[in-house]
Structure 1
Amino acid sequence: MESPLMGNGAGDATCLSSPESAELHPAPSLVLVPEDEDGDYPAVRTFDDAKSIFWLESSRLWAIAGPIAFNILCNYGINSFTNIFVGHIGDVELSAVAISLSVIANFSFGFLLGMGSALETLCGQAYGAGQISMLGVYMQRSWLILFVTCFFISPLYMFATPILKLLGQEADIAELAGTFTIQVIPQMFSLAINFPTQKFLQSQSKVGIMAWIGLAALILHIVMLYFFIEVFGWGTAGAAAAYNISAWGIALAQVVYIVGWCKDAWTGLSRLAFHDLWPFARLSVASAVMICLEIWYFMTIIVLTGHLADPVIAVGSLSICMNVNGWEGMMFIGINAAISVRVSNELGSAHPRAAKYSVIITICQSFCIGVLLMSIIMVTRNHFAVIFTDSHEMQRAVAHLAYLLGITMVLNSVQPGVAVGGGWQAVVAYINLFCYYVVGLPLGFLLGYKTHLGVEGIWIGMICGTTLQTLILVLMIYKTNWNKEVEQASERMKSWGGQSWGEDEASQEEKMAHSMVMVSFEPRE
């Protein structure tokens, strides 16, 4: 049955700039008259309606996206400036640290980020439904699960050198990369605290503090890199030390803010955090697979490049391009996190039209930003590599790949971030698996090794997989029944949320476990 929020005609509200209201208001306004008490957006019937909703939603979106994107860019800047400082030590050091951060560290980063992203669905919809007290419980469960996951990932760090050699990396690069990887194990454990606290704050739109923490950490990191590498001469070991200190500084600063200034959502440690860890882990793994398949895809491209002739230049040039692409990617992760917050909050509040319009407006704006960034890359293609390396040969190799970098940036910009907010993790995981690993990687291998296109061929294959994934996600959003998404979010919150905390605890926990399975594996029509 169609939601009354959607309306069919006479009951729909209009903007103040409509013809009827113009007689009463000679100067048209962009302020919307709410359709009903619930505050959903009115249906778009005129250009003025569209313009009003565009500006209103844009202000709401960027109030969240701006600080989140800035925080993520600062966090990514810690990685990027680590590469920049190490790159001026030498080409081997640049390739080794790039391999460590792009392959081993990205493996754990992707998996832990994905597991932490389960909170975007649960916390966002719980906050929209007014069940704020549950946010702290969800975050504590995520802490526990991510910490345990870190112990399982640790062997990957400890045996990085033989793993990289097995994957075909040159011995000198693998040895140095393995040493650096062991030195940054503390950074991995910081992510078990960092990601859940980020999602906790994002779901409530408390994102300003995240931006300030990110900026302080980035400045501190650059200062430490300068002293540890340039002044003290500690080389890659100094880079690892700065990396660990900055990562833990971010994680602990966010926890301090939550404990001290989020009294409504943080009510202290709760024994409920230890209940139903397995169902919660299943939801976390579903989120992790969805995100990891994309992050590991780029990681695999770096590994394949290591098998080409002259791997130092091949890996180094591609790593620089991936680093620049990562800056853009981190910004769009911020935008996607914001739209995930908007969608989950609106679904939790039973506003289907607001969720739908949020997605449409975000995709349009993101595409424009992607085109602008591509233009900047093309104009500066012969010069931007100077930031990362003093090697003229490496700079020429990067310039040769610039046009592929520009295309990738546009594709990244239009990948919608609504999947997490709507609880579609499992479906998108299958889409990513097919597009990236059935289409993109085999095609890249074929073009890179069988047609002698080298790095270009591998990257072209990657672009084909990304294009297919983007088209499928856009089609999926186009065909989404937002009324049904509201109904599913409502059922999810009834089971998860504390609307019946007076019930027998075993019965309540049983409902919560059932809802976990539903969120993770329920097929969408």
Structure 2
Amino acid sequence: MVSEATSNLLQDSGKEEHDDEEEEQQQLIWKKLWVETKKMWVVAGPAILTRVSMFGVFIIAQAFIGHIGNIQLAAFSVVFHVLARFSLGILMGMPSGLETLCGQAFGAKQYHMLGIYLQRSWLMESGFFLLLIPIFIFSAPILKLLGQTEEITVMANIISLWYIPIIFSYVFLYTLQMYLQIQSKNMIITWLAAVTLFLHGFCSWILVDKMGLGIAGVMISMNLASWVPIVGQLIFIFYGGCPLTWTGFSMLAFSDLWPVIKLSVSSGVMLCLEIWYNTLLILFTESSKNAEVTLDALSICFYSKHTLICRLNINGWGLMLSFGFLAAASVRVSNELGRGSAKAAKFAIKVVVATSLIIGVVPWALVLAFRHKVSYIFSISVKVANAFADLSILLAVTLLLNSIQPVLSGVAVGAGWQSIVAYVNIICYYCVGLPLGLLLYYVFNQSVKGMWMGMIGGTFVQTLVLIYYRFLSKIQVELMIIESPFQH
């Protein structure tokens, strides 16, 4: 009896120890999750606010120009959607290469390299900016070839010349953001973005409404809004804001440029392929039946150059959230790879993807629940409301995909896989999505819905490929460490 009682006591004791271990393990997991979540939001929160502010600058400019005249608004929209978006795709995509190198260097505690990489990126992007200048100088013949009217072409040429300093600001704007973001010095970016948004609105009001400068007033205000945050960030960096990573200008910036060029060009191609792919929907919509109503419905989902009033871009605002999580994924992955911890990088990816997906479910559900009412916020037309309700399911699916796909692109940036994703984008977007959309558009007479479904199909396939490449391929898990330049 004694031995049996002793045995029972030992079993109970062992069970209690096992329960205690499980409880401790659960507490450890929750603690780890809480720590990673805080690290993620340190990057994602300010990144989202910054992108919302930058998006707001364009909204304000469009609103003021819309009150000047229809020709001016159409010309401004053409410059932004055709010329600026082309340049933006290149000059905004290229700093992703800087993000990869700086993130891994920061994780490896090679702090001095961040300033060197920043200077190399400035040199490389300045060269590409010089190649883009002729597009804006000779915008008139380019836009005529694209079928624009003489009035719009003349006005667009004037606006495009004003746009050159804004395009040049992109050389510094995004590189500085990446540089500061890697070090979690995001609040300076956020505060400057908020000040810029207020300043832009105030200056536009003074220059346009009070001084009557028209287009010139709006463009002067946009130029100020573009350069104020850059000047503020440079002052912060040069005068002690980044003592570990900025040690002054160095001749080392002119050496070993190839890694920066390789990653930056791959990043630019990757982003351009995505931007141009999304703009195809509007181009094909112009030739559809009942194009005016369809364009009005689409303008609530996207932007249309034919929309003569400023309307909320639901998909655009959703992407502002997604780009914030893209930044978080990139920073966290690159930092952990620089530290040599693939396991921590994998955990960071799971946390960012799960958080972005949970948040993405909210607009997805709202669009579906209020699909018959949303459009009345922007238009009193019953036809537009019906068209929007018809397109709302596709919009909801797009919003859900946008909560996952950009985050996976952020993982690619953090790991330095931009060239691989560029190839994936070419195949999935232009060999799968676009042909499928054209088939549904022309053969099955599905109009803009068919085109949009095909494009969603391409994005869905790309998302599946990136999920497989990141989560299911065991080889790539090891390559994340091997390919890091700071682990050799």
Same fold (TM over 0.5): yes
**1:456-485 C-alpha deviation (Å, 9 max, x unpaired):** 332222211111111111111112443442
Distance 1:409 1:248, change over 3 A: same
Instruction: Choose the corresponding residue for 2:55, options 76, 79, 88.
Output: 76
Query: Is the 2:328–2:352 contact (alpha carbons within 8 Å) kept by the matching residues of 1?
Result: no
What is the distance in 2 between the residues matched to 1:389 and 1:215?
29
* CA drift at 1:182: 2.9
Secondary structure at the counterpart of residue 217 of structure 2: helix
What is the distance in 2 between the residues matched to 1:447 and 1:229?
46
Instruction: Choose the corresponding residue for 1:422, options 409, 415, 436.
Output: 415
Distance 1:324 1:209, change over 3 A: same
Instruction: Choose the corresponding residue for 1:227, options 168, 187, 206.
Output: 206
Among the aligned pairs, what percent are the same residue?
Answer: 40
**1:293-320 C-alpha deviation (Å, 9 max, x unpaired):** 1122123333333444566665555344
Distance 1:458 1:176, change over 3 A: farther
Moved more, 295-304 or 389-398: 389-398
1:344 aligns with 2:323: no
Paired residue for 2:400?
410
* CA drift at 1:328: 1.5
What is the distance in 2 between the residues matched to 1:184 and 1:246?
12
Paired residue for 1:97?
76
Moved more, 52-61 or 226-235: 226-235
* CA drift at 1:200: 0.7
Amino acid of the residue matched to residue 302 of structure 1? I
**1:244-286 C-alpha deviation (Å, 9 max, x unpaired):** 2101112222111111211211011111111133453222101
Query: Is the 2:340–2:487 contact (alpha carbons within 8 Å) kept by the matching residues of 1?
Result: no
Distance 1:24 1:299, change over 3 A: closer
What is the distance in 2 between the residues matched to 1:268 and 1:382?
57
Query: Is the 1:95–1:312 contact (alpha carbons within 8 Å) kept by the matching residues of 2?
Result: no
Query: Is the 2:330–2:411 contact (alpha carbons within 8 Å) kept by the matching residues of 1?
Result: yes
Secondary structure at the counterpart of residue 184 of structure 1: helix
Paired residue for 1:163?
142
Paired residue for 1:8?
none
Query: Is the 1:95–1:316 contact (alpha carbons within 8 Å) kept by the matching residues of 2?
Result: no
Paired residue for 1:487?
482
Paired residue for 1:40?
none
What is the distance in 2 between the residues matched to 1:189 and 1:390?
40
Paired residue for 1:34?
none
Distance 1:302 1:182, change over 3 A: farther
Paired residue for 2:117?
138
1:289 aligns with 2:269: yes
Report matched runs for 1:304-319 at 5 Å: 304-308=284-288, 314-315=294-295, 317-319=297-299
* CA drift at 1:159: 3.0
Paired residue for 1:327?
317
1:436 aligns with 2:429: yes
What is the distance in 2 between the residues matched to 1:313 and 1:97?
22
1:184 aligns with 2:174: no
Distance 1:166 1:480, change over 3 A: same
1:269 aligns with 2:241: no
Distance 1:156 1:302, change over 3 A: farther
Secondary structure at the counterpart of residue 184 of structure 2: coil
Query: Is the 2:356–2:403 contact (alpha carbons within 8 Å) kept by the matching residues of 1?
Result: yes
Secondary structure at the counterpart of residue 130 of structure 1: coil
State the TM-score, normalized to the length of structure 2.
Answer: 0.85
Paired residue for 2:182?
203
What is the distance in 2 between the residues matched to 1:267 and 1:107?
34
**1:66-105 C-alpha deviation (Å, 9 max, x unpaired):** 1111112211221233334444556655444333222221
Distance 1:449 1:240, change over 3 A: farther
What is the distance in 2 between the residues matched to 1:398 and 1:237?
35
**1:347-398 C-alpha deviation (Å, 9 max, x unpaired):** 1112221100111121111111111012333455566567767888767655
Paired residue for 2:456?
463
Query: Is the 1:132–1:264 contact (alpha carbons within 8 Å) kept by the matching residues of 2?
Result: yes
What is the distance in 1 between the residues matched to 2:123 and 2:380?
44
What is the distance in 2 between the residues matched to 1:391 and 1:234?
34
Report matched runs for 1:36-51 at 5 Å: 48=27, 50-51=29-30
What is the distance in 2 between the residues matched to 1:396 and 1:164?
33
1:299 aligns with 2:279: yes
What is the distance in 2 between the residues matched to 1:301 and 1:262?
43
Query: Is the 2:200–2:222 contact (alpha carbons within 8 Å) kept by the matching residues of 1?
Result: yes
Amino acid of the residue matched to residue 458 of structure 2? G
Any unmatched runs of 5+ in structure 1?
A: 1-17, 30-45, 496-525
Moved more, 259-268 or 314-323: 314-323
Query: Is the 1:103–1:299 contact (alpha carbons within 8 Å) kept by the matching residues of 2?
Result: no
What is the distance in 2 between the residues matched to 1:144 and 1:204?
22
Paired residue for 2:10?
none
Query: Is the 2:50–2:194 contact (alpha carbons within 8 Å) kept by the matching residues of 1?
Result: yes
Any unmatched runs of 5+ in structure 2?
A: 1-14, 303-312
1:193 aligns with 2:172: yes
Distance 1:216 1:184, change over 3 A: same
**1:398-433 C-alpha deviation (Å, 9 max, x unpaired):** 555333222211111011220000011111010011
What is the distance in 1 between the residues matched to 2:282 and 2:200?
26
What is the distance in 1 between the residues matched to 2:215 and 2:301?
21
As a proportion of its length, which structure holds more helix? Answer: 2
Secondary structure at the counterpart of residue 196 of structure 1: helix
